[in-house]
């Protein structure tokens, strides 16, 4: 049988809300597909649907017509991510067909699997954890082997700010976990918290590589302010300590994303703002180097 390579998978998570998980995940995907040569598949796993709404709503709050038509069809044909989970965890075989009724095409090389409100059911633990653990691996295999959709180089996951069964399914199989932090005490405090939680929840399965970067760094004279630097140094310190004691590979990327106003509307305006391209390119170079190590 011919060997086929699945996409490299990266999951963005932090239990602290507002650190920029959604914006950064979206920007990285846009960067790779627009400025790079990669085919990217983006997943919104958060039942709050922030990413889905940002991609699919017009600036006046109405739904983009093309997406509306696609979403209606996808729901009628039972092709949402929740239907895939239902089928996978049900009694029968997993015969979920992957095609463009399941995957929405934002552009030629940037494709998207939106979230649905039904994902809130996963918070109720109605599905056995063991069964759910292998869901994303099986789904990615189906996507890889499907002849109905293109081959993807990268799968990017925007995870909810909590440890749901779906996050568990992704975090325990992805190639890298990406943690954005901000230059403030509570966001920085989220790092030891999430490292502890990842290890407790994922082990005895191997914990994937973890990459950490500073988002919304306050700029000053070509670098970051002393205050941002203090929090970044504190996070590096705790990561180094944790990595040494747990054996988990953690890298803190020296490529901050600076805090500038335009980034807030990056998703709705449909492109990484020009002044951010070089920040994200530099971040991506570090991610790529680490993931391929």
Partner 1 sequence: MSNEFPQPSEEIKRLTSEIESLRAEMQVSFRKLSQMEKRLRAVFPNLPKKPKATPGQPRQLSSKSGEQLKEDFQRILQAVEESGPQGFDSTISTLPNEDVLALAVELGVGQPKQTSLSKAVEGIRKRIQERRMLGHTRHD
Of the listed pieces 112-120, 140-148, 202-210, 224-232, which binds partner 1 according to CB under 8 A?
224-232
Residues 237-266 that bind partner 1 (CB under 8 A): 237-238, 241-242, 245-246
Q: Is 200 in the site for partner 1 (CB under 8 A)?
A: yes
Nearer to partner 1 among residue 78 and residue 229 (C-beta): 229
Separation between Cα atoms, residue 133 and residue 119, nearest integer Å: 15
Write down the least CB distance from residue 190 to partner 1, Å.
10
Minimum gap (Å) between residue 214 Cβ and partner 1:
14
Q: Residues 283, 225, 243, CA angle at the centre, nearest 5°?
A: 50
Residue 195 engages partner 1 in binding (rule: CB under 8 A) = yes
Question: What is the CA 223 to chain-centroid distance, rounded?
Answer: 27
The single residue among 227, 260, 262, 268 that binds partner 1, judged by CB under 8 A, is 227
**Number of residues in contact with partner 1 under rule CB under 8 A:** 24
Q: Which is nearer to partner 1, 83 or 229 (CB)?
A: 229
Distance separating alpha carbons of residues 109 and 150, to the nearest angstrom:
9
Q: Strand 257-258 vs strand 209-217: parallel, antiparallel, or unpaired?
A: parallel
Among residues 89, 133, 134, 225, which is the contact residue for partner 1, using CB under 8 A?
225
Cα gap 64→46, rounded to integer Å: 20
Say which residue the tokens 């979403």 belong to: 71
Which CB, 84 or 239, lies closer to partner 1?
239
286 near partner 1, rule: CB under 8 A? no
Restricted to residues 148-187, the positions that interact with partner 1 (CB under 8 A) are 185
Work out whether 188 is an interface residue with partner 1 (CB under 8 A): yes
User: In this complex, which beta carbon is closest to partner 1, that of residue 241 or of residue 260?
Assistant: 241
Neighbour-count burial for 176-185, b at 16+ CB within 10 Å, e otherwise: bbbbbbbbee
Q: How far apart are CA 57 and CA 71, in angstroms?
A: 13
Positions of E strands within 122-270: 154-158, 176-181, 209-217, 219-220, 223-224, 250-252, 257-258
Give the residue, chosen from 78, 131, 229, 281, that forms a contact with partner 1 under the rule CB under 8 A: 229
Yes or no: say if 196 and 238 are a contact pair by the CB < 8 Å rule. Answer: no
A 10 A CB-CB count for 233 gives 12
Q: How far is the CB of 97 from partner 1 (least distance, A)?
A: 43
Residues of this chain that interact with partner 1 (CB under 8 A) are 185, 188-189, 191-192, 195-196, 199-200, 225-230, 233-235, 237-238, 241-242, 245-246
């Amino acid at each position: 049988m011919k060997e086929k390579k699945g996409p490299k998978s990266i999951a963005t998570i932090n239990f602290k809300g507002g650190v920029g998980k959604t914006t950064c995940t979206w920007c990285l995907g846009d960067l790779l597909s627009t400025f790079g040569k990669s085919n990217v598949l983006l997943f919104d796993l958060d039942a709050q649907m922030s990413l889905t709404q940002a991609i699919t709503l017009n600036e006046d709050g109405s739904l983009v017509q093309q997406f509306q038509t696609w979403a209606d069809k996808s729901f009628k044909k039972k092709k949402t991510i929740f239907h895939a989970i239902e089928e996978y965890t049900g009694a029968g075989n997993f015969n979920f067909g992957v095609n463009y009724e399941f995957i929405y095409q934002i552009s030629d090389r940037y494709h998207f699997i939106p979230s649905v409100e039904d994902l809130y059911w996963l918070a109720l633990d109605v599905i056995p954890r063991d069964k759910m653990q292998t869901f994303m691996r099986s789904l990615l295999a189906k996507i890889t082997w499907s002849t109905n959709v293109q081959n993807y180089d990268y799968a990017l996951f925007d995870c909810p700010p909590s440890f749901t069964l779906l996050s568990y399914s992704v975090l325990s199989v992805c190639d890298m976990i990406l943690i954005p932090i901000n230059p403030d005490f509570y966001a920085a405090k989220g790092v030891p918290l999430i490292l502890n939680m990842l290890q407790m929840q994922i082990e005895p399965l191997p914990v994937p590589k973890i990459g950490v970067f500073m988002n919304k760094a306050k700029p000053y004279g070509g670098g970051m302010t002393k205050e941002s630097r203090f929090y970044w140094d504190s996070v590096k310190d705790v990561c180094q300590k944790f990595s040494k004691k747990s054996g988990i590979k953690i890298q803190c990327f020296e490529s901050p994303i600076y805090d500038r106003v335009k980034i807030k509307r990056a998703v709705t305006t449909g492109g990484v703002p020009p002044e951010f391209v070089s920040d994200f390119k530099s971040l991506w170079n570090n991610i790529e180097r680490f993931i391929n190590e």
